[in-house]
Homo-oligomer: A and B are copies of this chain.
């Protein structure tokens, strides 16, 4: 019996079977062979998200590396739907994207879909999603993306450029395909049905602007795949490459190992602007534990890191494989108690967020140098 789970651009629920997603979405697993090739091209090292298969799936990465090895460099495209504050789950694909930018000397085109969040969220105004877009942009810049190679844009403020290209996509996309891919109904609004056209644009816009076909790699959490299946179907019809893709798992919510961290359910998420005491309180209070009911039972039988959210988060935030292995083994053996494991995570995360928050404040001063408007 297969467990039930849902993974769409607007809903992620249940205990996700990532291998089944590869089959259902028709993507390719990231094989060891491909990882070895990535390592070679990346200067001999692999990001821990790759070593640990947090990025686990791809489309056309072989082709992208073929092109790269021929000297045909790619650019990166990823994005964010600015419906609220950034939480640390959002950072996962961006942290990896930063690594790709550095290792492959790649431009990043970063889309803030403030139009989408307005269309899909009954309560949000356009002013709110647009303001949130630039708040979110601070988190992007804080991660260290390179000025002059990183172009961040809000759909609303870059719409003169985007609308023209989105129409080209829209003309090739029937309502019936949009319904099949996204599950839209006739009771949905016409903007929702149109929107994926806008999300497709950055997958070929640099080619339009540079006047030559440039390969594109899109790192994203797997829930956005529906959009890019549409994109990959349409870009060749417009004379551009299909974008390659690389997909990551979700950082699990604090409250349990299933689903996706939600920015709208505060106890499941740690925001990038949370002060240390809030981070500590949330982890202590909500982080789902794989430990035993009593200390003595835990010492005897050990904990279960596979369901323990603190441990799972450390697989994202503790870069050192040996340290992580020791934590794992100590937890399994019972040497490490839940409270101690939580403390390791708290120390790691508050240190990360302290740096991030400093960088985020500095980012305000340089925001304009990263932002494209028309």
Determine if A175 and B191 form an interchain contact, defined as CB atoms under 8 angstroms apart: no
A157-187: CB near B (< 8 Å → 1, else 0) gives 1011001100110111111101100001111
Determine if A190 and B167 form an interchain contact, defined as CB atoms under 8 angstroms apart: no
Complex Cα gap A197–B189 (Å):
11
Determine if A175 and B187 form an interchain contact, defined as CB atoms under 8 angstroms apart: yes
Kindly state whether residue A188 has any CB partner on chain B within 8 Å: yes
Kindly state whether residue A226 has any CB partner on chain B within 8 Å: no
Q: Looking across the interface, which residue of chain B has its beta carbon closest to that of A374? A: B160
A340, chain B: closest CB distance, angstroms: 50
Among A1-47, those with CB < 8 Å from B are none
Q: Decide if the interface of chain A is mainly helix, strand, loop or mixed.
A: helix
The count of chain A contact residues (Cβ–Cβ below 8 Å) is 34
Chain B residues with CB under 8 A of A173: 189-191
Kindly state whether residue A151 has any CB partner on chain B within 8 Å: no
Kindly state whether residue A345 has any CB partner on chain B within 8 Å: no
Determine if B189 and A190 form an interchain contact, defined as CB atoms under 8 angstroms apart: no
Kindly state whether residue A119 has any CB partner on chain B within 8 Å: yes
Partner of A194, one of B170, B174, B179, B186: B170
Kindly state whether residue A126 has any CB partner on chain B within 8 Å: yes
Q: Looking across the interface, which residue of chain B has its beta carbon closest to that of A194? A: B194
Determine if A168 and B374 form an interchain contact, defined as CB atoms under 8 angstroms apart: no
Chain B residues with CB under 8 A of A115: 163, 167
A121, chain B: closest CB distance, angstroms: 10
Chain B residues with CB under 8 A of A179: 186
Chain B residues with CB under 8 A of A186: 174-176, 179
Complex Cα gap A176–B185 (Å):
8
